Structures are given as structure tokens and as C-alpha cells.
Amino acid sequence: MIRKILFLLAIVFIAIQFIPVDLNNSTDITNTDFIVAEKPPTDIALVLKNSCYDCHSNTTRYPWYDRIAPVSWWVAEHIEHGKKDLNFSEWTTFSDKKKKHKLEEIVEMVEEEKMPIKSYLIMHGDTKLTTEQVVELKNWIATIK
């Protein structure tokens, strides 16, 4: 009986791999992108690319395990939600008022350690911002607001 259940679970697991998920992996960096438009210092750009862009841009880097269902579904939902809140790839399409508000939210989220989210940090521990990085990001954002 247990063998039949395990066999059935294996079949279901294999079958769900064929349910497509739209990948968020554009390779085009356009003039509407935050880093292109705002020209942050290299260290700030690296922090943003490393800790923010996977969920908040059109250029997600997918490790192998993010392509396996049902993890792929969960990741796709997180990216969709993240891009609804802020999409760095569309930065120049925002009004000045919206840009200012988004910059304030960025500072608030990183200061309160709400970003990157804890579930992302579990598998991407190197994306956790150091206190120094938060201060540098905050100070740089203050210069462009």
C-alpha cells in the first residue's frame, strides 16, 4: 500500500513539472531601469542588483531549485507581488511623486529589515544587507530625493 502511495506521489510530482510558469528573466536593461537612470555608485548598484532586483525588476536570476514545481509557483507569486510593489526596470515611468514615495519605502523597508524578505534570505543568505550597506543606501537615496 505504501509503495502505491509513493508511486502515485512520484507520478504527481513528475506531472506538475509540466505546468508552465512564466519566468521573469528578461536580459534587456533599458533606459527605464533605476540603475541606468539614477546612476548610483557601483557599491550601491551591486547591493540593489544582489538584494532587490530578483523580485523587484524584470531580470530575475533563478537558481536550479527555483525551476522545480511547486517551488517555482511560489517563487513566481513572490516575484509578481514584488514587481507590483516596485519594479526597478520601470523606474522612469513613475511620476516624481511616486519615485519619491518609493525611495522613502526602500529606506523604511531596509532599515526595518523587512527587505529582503526572510523567506528569500533562507536560500540567499548573501543578500542580507549589512548595517553599513543600509546606511550607505539611505545616505545615497537622500542625495537623489
| pLDDT per residue as tens digits for the range 52-94 | 999 999 999 999 988 899 999 999 999 999 999 999 999 999 9
DSSP codes of every residue in 35-68? HHHH---HHHHHHHHHHTHHHHSSBPPPPGGGGS
Whether 16 is covered by a domain: the verdict is no
Half-sphere exposure of 4 (CA within 13 A, CB side): 1
The answer to whether position 2 is within a domain reads no
d(CA 121, CA 52): 11
DSSP string, 88-123: GGGGGGS-HHHHHHHHHHHHHHHHTT-SS-HHHHHH
Residue range 93-119, pLDDT digits in tens: 999 999 999 999 999 999 999 999 999
> Is 3 within the bounds of a domain?
no
pLDDT in the model for residue 22: 85
Residue 110's domain comprises 22-144
Amino acid at 66: D
Based on the structure, what is the number of domains in the chain?
Answer: 1
The answer as to whether 11 is a domain residue is: no
Q: Is 33 contained in some domain?
A: yes
Q: Terminus-to-terminus CA distance in the chain, angstroms? A: 64
Please indicate, yes or no, if residue 5 is contained in any of the structural domains: no
Record the pTM: 0.88
Per the prediction, the chain carries an average pLDDT of 93
